Amino acid sequence: MSEQDISPPNTVAKGARVAVGMSGGTDSSVAAALLVDQGYEVIGLTARMWKEGSRCCSLESVQSARKVCWHLGIRHVVVNVMDDFMENVAERFAQEYVEGRTPSPCVACNQKVKFGALLTRAVSFGCEIMATGHYAKRVEAPDGVHIYRANDRSRDQSYFLHRLSQRQLAHSRFPLGEMLKQEDVIPYVKARELPIETTSESRDICFAAPGQHHVVVERFIPEARKPGDIVTEDGVVVGQHKGIHRCTVGQRRGLGLAGGGDPLYVTRIDAENHRVIVGPRTAAMASECWIEDPRWISGTPPAAGKEIAVSLRYQHGPVPAALVIEADGATCLRFPEPQFAVAPGQAAVIYRGDELLGGGWIAPPTQ
């Protein structure tokens, strides 16, 4: 069964069988407990994505999820989605870096794995919906499902959901969307006596150690280690890099450049010539960007002339922008105020007020 074969559920009645994607962390555990409290028959699903130990699928995280399920009196299942994760997330992550882009693996994971392969398995278990611990608000309307930013703005994860289809969203639930982490979630954990540690959760890439994304890239593409020149826009060589996958637009630290002059920032990555281009901060500003493969929550782009705002990376506060869609479908975002570090490969996610409209991948600038 594929995602295309899944039919949208009817109204989900109390007592219905539902799944919760459980990582073993606080948020997904609370999502499961809330649904149990609301009278649903809950199955906890933990995705097995990565062979090596990592935060997303370590033995400890599986055991933690299982312990919570035992405490709640619900079934727990470990689902093998390693092939889907490898193809759609990990391999793409490495390839994007060697192409001079800065990937957004969590966006791809939500679209292809969590609400792709894992949702398909949930439906095969007879579950009508799948809930997760995402901080995002979901509203059903006659014209479909709408997604809004969470009440807890510091935790809002709607950014990662912008590529989900209406079919996927019909099966989704986000119980934490109205809750605040410190004021609501943590007290609930204590009141419910959930057997989990309420420590702060890392926001780094789950399948790579903090600051070690290059190790994953080099595992898939060993030749990524090839060194090359760091040059100014005028072509003056000012240093050497240890692989373009170690650099991203807007980066200043870790380039190994001699001090003494004005700070230099990565302004562009020339993958074809294996060079990293640097310049002053002003050269790392952009007044527009083109986006590739745009997706829209409603299925259609917003009407021209409507006010929008865009997040150019996760937790980059939405900034005003004008959306321009040309006759051939080419899509451009223009900023009234130039924006720093608009990195190709990142997701440009578009909002109107608090409502998530959609987004696309930031394209490399034309030269």
CB 175 within 8 A of CB 135: no
One-letter amino acid of 152: D
One-letter amino acid of 303: A
For residue 359, the cross-strand partners are 295, 349
Active-site entry in 56, 57, 109, 289: 109
Q: How many Cα atoms occupy the beta-carbon half-sphere of 38 within 13 Å? A: 15
Q: What's 202's DSSP letter?
A: P
**Percent helix, strand, coil in the chain (nearest 5)?**
30, 30, 45
Cα 66 to chain centroid distance, Å, stands at 25
One-letter amino acid of 52: E
Q: Which residue has the tokens 């373009």?
A: 244
As a whole number of angstroms, the distance between CA 25 and CA 68 comes to 10
DSSP 58-90: -HHHHHHHHHHHHHHT-EEEEEE-HHHHIIIII
As a whole number of angstroms, the distance between CA 148 and CA 217 comes to 34
**DSSP 3-state assignment of 97?**
helix
Tokens read off for 323:
């959306």
Which residues does 211 contact at the CB level (< 8 Å), separation at least 6?
204
Active-site entry in 106, 127, 206, 247: 206
Q: What are phi and psi of 356, to 5 degrees?
A: -80, 120
Q: What are phi and psi of 79, to 5 degrees?
A: -110, 125
CB 266 within 8 A of CB 249: yes
As a whole number of angstroms, the distance between CA 208 and CA 49 comes to 12
The reply to whether 332 belongs to the active site is no
Cα 138 to chain centroid distance, Å, stands at 17
Q: Which residue has the tokens 């809930």?
A: 131
Q: What's 155's DSSP letter?
A: T
The residues assigned a catalytic role are 109, 206
